[in-house]
């Protein structure tokens, strides 16, 4: 009897062939913590003993979540009407909002997701999304419909609040004002630049200034520490040869394989709100010919893709220049520098996750 031939993974797909249509209903339904943070909790947040602000933030957030409990609305009984003549206080005995101020990789998203999981309210009364996803929701639904949709919530968590786009910041600030009036509690994070960590409340001051009328409703919590993605870990592996990346793509089930410049061009034709759907089912991203991004618009689209890949824990194997050379010095010192530093940090972590894919190709 002839031996059964070994199975061969299907040829890799290409992100450049994907342009999904995402209905507005999906944008709302997906306002939950990303898979990486689906099961996190305050208990499994590993605090750094040398950074007492981390443990202090955990206790403050536990108290905030506890004050959000109570009442039929919080326990999944009677859902509130879309609008109320008199908005009840969102948080008894404390501020209506919490803002987590800190550098990259100190665990702010972990804590924000833990707050949402801990808050005693039905899942449909809690929403979690990045600043970009929230602006995309407004673009898809319109401002008034977004207010109507979210005003029935007990808690809205906004990760990576962007302070570098005045127009979007004013838009979201206006939206949050409407939600606070409706009794929605708020929690948000943003990043302090690595070079600004010694300047006290730099990012918190920026945040509170940008949201002007809402600032009195927020309590700022500073979280100090190192980027956990690189704490005590070896440096990210250098880029690989094209041949290794291509071999890994063909040997890895569910992998995609793209030429980096072609992918950047494709991103310009797909709305960033659809980048998450574009990554559906992808188990690894393999890129050949990585080069520095040519302009700011391209760079900002790449940042969104990096966020969606990181949310889904998709390893990235690449050839070409290292990820810390994606953005020019001018970009890294400009108005969008926070986004670029975050993208470098996250892509570096995903490149480390992909090291095993390359080693498997070497061993064959």
How far is 288 from 157, CA to CA, in rounded Å? Answer: 36
**Average pLDDT of the chain to the nearest whole number:** 82
| Neighbour-count burial for 78-108, b at 16+ CB within 10 Å, e otherwise | eebeeeeeeeeebbeebbbbbbbbbbbbbbb
Contact assessment for residue 28 and residue 133, using Cβ atoms and an 8 Å cutoff:
no
Angle at 281 between CA 360 and CA 15, to 5 degrees: 85
pLDDT of residue 266: 98
Across-strand partners of 190? 101
What average pLDDT score do residues 95-102 get? 84
Contact assessment for residue 264 and residue 295, using Cβ atoms and an 8 Å cutoff:
no
Contact assessment for residue 183 and residue 73, using Cβ atoms and an 8 Å cutoff:
no
pLDDT at 203 over 60: no
How far is 295 from 26, CA to CA, in rounded Å? Answer: 31
| Burial grade of 39 (CB within 10 A; 0-12, 13-18, 19 or more) | exposed
What's the order of all strands across the beta sheet hosting 255-259? Answer: 255-259, 284-290, 316-320
Question: Over the stretch 235-258, which tens digit does the pLDDT of each residue have?
Answer: 667 899 999 999 999 999 999 999
Question: Over the stretch 20-31, which tens digit does the pLDDT of each residue have?
Answer: 988 877 888 889
How far is 274 from 54, CA to CA, in rounded Å? Answer: 34
How far is 292 from 260, CA to CA, in rounded Å? Answer: 10
- The residues, ordered by sequence, that sit 6+ positions from 200 with a Cβ below 8 Å of its Cβ are none
pLDDT of residue 81: 36
Query: Is this structure's pTM higher than 0.75?
Result: no
Instruction: Identify the three-state secondary structure at position 330.
Output: helix
pLDDT at 275 over 50: yes
pLDDT of residue 72: 37
Stretch among 17-31, 55-69, 116-130, 309-323 having the lowest mean pLDDT:
17-31
Question: Over the stretch 212-221, which tens digit does the pLDDT of each residue have?
Answer: 666 667 788 8
User: Could you give the maximum distance between any two Cα atoms of the chain, in Å?
Assistant: 79
How far is 276 from 30, CA to CA, in rounded Å? Answer: 10
**With DSSP H G I counted as helix, E B as strand and the rest as coil, what are the percentages for the chain, rounded to 5?**
45, 15, 40
At residue 350 the predicted structure's pLDDT band, cuts being 50, 70 and 90, is: very high
| Burial grade of 189 (CB within 10 A; 0-12, 13-18, 19 or more) | buried
Across-strand partners of 290? 320
- The residues, ordered by sequence, that sit 6+ positions from 181 with a Cβ below 8 Å of its Cβ are 87
């Amino acid at each position: 009897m002839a031996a059964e031939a070994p199975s061969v993974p299907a040829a890799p797909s290409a992100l450049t062939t994907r342009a999904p249509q995402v209905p507005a209903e999906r944008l709302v339904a997906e306002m939950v913590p990303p898979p990486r943070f689906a099961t996190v909790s305050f208990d499994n947040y590993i605090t750094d003993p040398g950074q007492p602000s981390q443990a202090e933030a955990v206790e403050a957030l536990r108290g905030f979540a506890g004050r959000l409990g109570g009442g039929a609305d919080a326990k999944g009984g009677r859902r509130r009407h879309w609008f109320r003549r008199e908005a009840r206080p969102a948080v008894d005995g404390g501020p209506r909002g919490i803002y987590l101020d800190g550098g990259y990789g100190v665990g702010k998203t972990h804590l924000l997701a833990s707050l949402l999981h801990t808050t005693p309210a039905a899942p449909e009364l809690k929403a979690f999304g990045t600043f970009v996803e929230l602006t995309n929701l407004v673009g898809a639904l319109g401002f008034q419909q977004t207010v109507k949709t979210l005003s029935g919530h007990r808690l809205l968590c906004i990760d990576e609040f962007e302070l570098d786009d005045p127009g979007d910041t004013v838009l979201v600030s206006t939206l949050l004002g409407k939600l606070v009036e409706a009794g929605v509690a708020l929690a948000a994070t943003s990043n302090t630049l690595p070079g600004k960590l010694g300047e006290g409340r730099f990012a918190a001051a920026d945040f509170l200034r940008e949201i002007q009328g809402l600032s009195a409703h927020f309590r700022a919590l500073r979280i100090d520490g190192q980027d956990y993605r690189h704490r005590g870990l070896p440096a990210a592996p250098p880029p690989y040869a094209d041949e290794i990346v291509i071999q890994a793509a063909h040997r890895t089930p569910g992998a995609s394989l793209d030429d980096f410049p072609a992918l950047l061009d494709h991103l310009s034709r797909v709305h960033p709100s659809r980048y998450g759907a574009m990554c559906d089912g992808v188990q690894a991203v393999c890129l050949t010919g990585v080069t520095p991004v040519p302009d700011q618009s391209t760079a900002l689209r790449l940042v969104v893709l990096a966020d969606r890949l990181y949310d889904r824990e998709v390893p990235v194997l690449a050839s070409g220049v290292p990820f810390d050379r994606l953005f020019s010095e001018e970009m890294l010192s400009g108005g969008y520098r926070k986004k670029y530093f975050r993208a470098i940090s996250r892509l570096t972590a995903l490149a480390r996750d992909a090291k095993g894919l390359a080693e498997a190709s070497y061993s064959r």
